[in-house]
């Protein structure tokens, strides 16, 4: 059976963790997220590792949540929780929220606070839940073909569970990403500060590793403290409270969809998205603007 997460020693003091579900465009199911978390734990506890790279096999970094997984509450039974979340075997909004407190916001907060520098090497599409694999990292290196998007509003939900959009893009661009499903290309993401570097696709792994090796020359304790100092700036400015409020709105939307449609998301949203052309990487409103 193919391993869905690969763990490599890319260079002395550098671990590379690779998403390895290329047939699903690295869609995130429960198994992948727990395997990824275990790999991060391994790198965190390995005192020889100073820097952690997250990369992906296949044409895209991540297509987001795997909506084909079936009953998400049932799949949770096979995994021991790693956060303090509890109650995800219970019915209704209580179980759904507890599960997402564990595998989405819980994992993202854990990963954001790993006391070692983390670099994401992103190529191709990084969609919705995929943002929650690169946003917790400290540095993002994007290939020139990388595209970032969040499609949740089309599905009746106000944003992915890790709500970093305004911090990563600024308020107005965050609203465009959410309201219109706008695609953020690698160069625009760089200009807005979400991406550190844009590099040719063929050189993504090489340049990411070179940066990791440069970082690894610094003392581990100094790197840990520098990371905590920068993260504390966001948290002192209210990031954690804003995240909690957005997560509550996210689950209000899930509950609304369950009441109206009998499913956690608007089932018509997928069909609307296909009809609009977004699944092919097109943005009809942008094409019309260019034509005029």
pLDDT at 292 over 70: no
Helices (H), the chain: 30-45, 72-75, 92-103, 105-112, 131-134, 165-169, 171-180, 186-191, 204-215, 220-236, 239-261, 268-276, 284-291
Task: Give me the mean pLDDT over the 250-263 stretch.
Answer: 95
Domain layout of the chain by residue ranges: 5-291
pLDDT in tens, 168-226: 999 999 999 999 999 999 999 999 999 999 999 999 999 999 999 999 999 999 999 99
Q: In which residue are the tokens 């799949």 written?
A: 75
The pTM assigned to this predicted structure is 0.91
Closest CA to 274 of 98, 133, 155, 132: 155
Select the CATH number that applies to the domain covering 5-291 from these four: 3.40.470.10, 3.90.226.10, 3.40.50.1100, 3.20.20.100.
3.90.226.10
pLDDT at 276: 52
Distance CA 72, CA 74 (A): 5
Using pLDDT thresholds of 50, 70 and 90, give the confidence band for residue 280: very low
Q: How many CA atoms lie within 13 A of 89 on its CB side?
A: 5
Please, what is the average pLDDT of the chain? 91
Specify whether the CB–CB gap between 104 and 191 falls below 8 A: no
CB atoms within 10 A of CB 138: 20
Q: What pLDDT sits at residue 4?
A: 96
């Amino acid at each position: 059976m193919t391993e869905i997460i690969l763990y490599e020693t890319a260079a002395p003091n550098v671990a590379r963790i690779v998403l390895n579900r290329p047939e699903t465009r690295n869609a995130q199911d429960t198994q992948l997220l727990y395997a990824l978390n275990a790999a991060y734990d391994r790198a965190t506890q390995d005192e020889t590792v100073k820097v952690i790279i997250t990369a992906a096999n296949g044409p895209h970094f991540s297509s987001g949540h795997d909506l084909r997984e079936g009953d998400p509450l049932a799949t949770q039974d096979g995994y021991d929780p790693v956060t303090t979340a509890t109650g995800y075997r219970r019915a209704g909004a209580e179980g759904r929220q507890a599960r997402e407190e564990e595998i989405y916001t819980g994992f993202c907060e854990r990963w954001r606070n790993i006391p070692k520098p983390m670099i994401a090497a992103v190529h191709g599409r990084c969609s919705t839940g995929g943002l929650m694999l690169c946003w917790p990292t400290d540095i993002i290196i994007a290939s020139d073909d990388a595209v970032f998007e969040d499609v949740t509003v089309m599905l009746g939900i106000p944003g992915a569970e890790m709500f970093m959009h305004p911090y990563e893009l600024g308020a107005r661009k965050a609203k465009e990403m959410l309201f219109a499903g706008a695609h953020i290309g690698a160069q625009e993401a760089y200009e807005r500060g979400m991406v550190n570097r844009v590099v040719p696709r063929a050189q993504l792994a090489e340049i990411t590793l070179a940066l990791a090796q440069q970082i690894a020359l610094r003392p581990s304790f100094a790197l840990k403290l520098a990371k905590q100092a920068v993260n504390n700036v966001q948290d002192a400015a209210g990031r954690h409270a804003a995240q909690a409020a957005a997560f509550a709105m996210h689950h209000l939307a899930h509950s609304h969809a369950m009441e109206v449609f009998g499913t956690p998301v608007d089932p018509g949203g997928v069909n609307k998205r296909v009809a609009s052309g977004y699944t092919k990487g097109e943005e009809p409103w942008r094409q019309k603007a260019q034509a005029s």
